[in-house]
């Protein structure tokens, strides 16, 4: 069986090609799955998609009509998939339930430190041989308060690093993580966490309950000199409300590896095009904002684990097995 993999990055292509061995083959495409590209999948029983694929009702129905019966998504998140439609169509949907939490946690800290210590501004200056320190003053994080929204595996890894910095630890989640509590984390209501934290990092899935969790009210409750980091899902933050607060001169820094309208933008070269997204265009102009292109997971270790899990998902589908990765089982 030939598996068609959509949205494959150049760095991950050799990993995917080496992972699939006969009798299974894989064909990697750099285009993302959309309503425009879905005809390419015709005749392929199994396909693999990236997190920004369009797997809404129209695409799923077109896939099913073309003979696709199995979708292996190469991500943990699945908010882009209409699971009810997939079940109605008799399709099997699998994801990667976990991979290296350190990849995302370490990158979240990279964003936090970069905006705190004005690394991007400093690097831009030194390229022009401007070695002044004006405007580059940061703050020690030791002794300050970090608020972690979501204390699963990634949130725990982030917390361990915060503990190493010697920070006061606050957490919020539907269930407490004993490992975080052992580090000294105190679980508090979200409203208290937002008010007291100097650094806030988001490590939550995107669901209806968490959509715009950080809205205008939440943003206004935060300290004027707080640092906000999101390496999870863009929809957790109301970006328009964030821009409004930034225009008021608030926040020491904001580090975003995700954006709520990133589909059709992230992972693509748009450098020669006019960007019609006014919110994103405004966001990247703020000197205290750092936006990266959903790369927190992108380490050799994490991608290798994602690829291995994706191969296993396809093999399990062929064998009729069900694992913790299956979102919609084989009918």
Which active-site residues does the annotation give?
A: 233, 262, 294
**Alpha carbons 310 and 59: distance in angstroms, whole number:** 21
**3-state SS string over the chain?**
CEEEECCCCCCCHHHHHHHCCCCCEEEECCCCCCCCCHHHHCCCCEEEECCCCCECHHHHHHHHHCCCCEEEECCCCCCCECHHHHHHCCCEEECCCCCCHHHHHHHHHHHHHHHHCCHHHHHHHHHCCCCCCCCCCCCCCCCCEEEEECCCHHHHHHHHHHHHHCCEEEEECCCCCHHHHHCCCEECCHHHHHHHCCEEEECCCCCCCCCCCECHHHHHHCCCCCEEEECCCHHHECHHHHHHHHHCCCCCEEEECCCCCCCCCCCCCCCCCCCCCHHHHHHCCCCCEEECCCCCCCCHHHHHHHHHHHHHHHHHHHHCCCCCCEEECCC
**Alpha carbons 67 and 137: distance in angstroms, whole number:** 58
The conformation of residue 81, written as its DSSP 8-state character, comes to B
Cα radius of gyration (the chain): 21
């Amino acid at each position: 069986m030939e598996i068609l993999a959509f949205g494959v990055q150049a760095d991950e292509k050799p990993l995917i090609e080496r992972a699939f061995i006969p009798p299974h083959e894989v064909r990697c495409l750099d285009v993302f799955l959309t309503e425009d590209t879905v005809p390419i999948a015709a005749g392929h029983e199994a396909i693999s998609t990236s997190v920004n694929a369009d797997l809404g009702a129209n695409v799923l129905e077109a896939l099913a009509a073309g003979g696709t019966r199995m979708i292996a998504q190469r991500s943990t998140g699945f908010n882009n998939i209409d699971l009810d439609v997939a079940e109605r169509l008799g399709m099997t949907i699998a994801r990667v339930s976990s991979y290296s939490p350190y990849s995302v946690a370490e990158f979240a800290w990279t964003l936090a430190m970069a905006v705190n210590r004005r690394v991007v501004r400093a690097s831009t200056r030194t390229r022009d041989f401007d070695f002044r320190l004006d405007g580059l003053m940061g703050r020690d994080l030791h002794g300050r308060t970090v608020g972690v929204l979501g204390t699963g595996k990634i949130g725990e890894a982030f917390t361990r690093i915060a503990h190493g910095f010697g920070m006061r630890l606050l957490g919020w989640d539907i269930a407490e993580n004993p490992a975080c509590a052992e580090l000294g984390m105190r679980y508090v209501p979200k409203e208290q966490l937002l008010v007291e934290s100097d650094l806030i990092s988001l490590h939550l899935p995107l669901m209806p309950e968490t959509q715009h969790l950080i809205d205008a009210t939440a943003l206004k409750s935060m300290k004027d000199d707080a640092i906000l980091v999101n390496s999870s899902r863009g929809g957790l933050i109301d970006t328009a409300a964030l821009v409004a607060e930034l225009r008021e001169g608030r926040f020491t820094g904001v580090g975003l590896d995700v954006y709520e309208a990133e589909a059709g933008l992230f992972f693509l070269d748009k450098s020669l095009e006019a960007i019609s997204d006014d919110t994103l265009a405004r966001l990247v102009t703020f000197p205290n904002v750092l936006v990266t292109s959903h790369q927190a997971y992108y380490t050799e270790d994490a991608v290798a684990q994602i690829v291995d899990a994706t191969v296993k998902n396809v093999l399990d589908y062929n064998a009729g097995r069900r694992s913790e990765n299956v979102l919609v089982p084989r009918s």
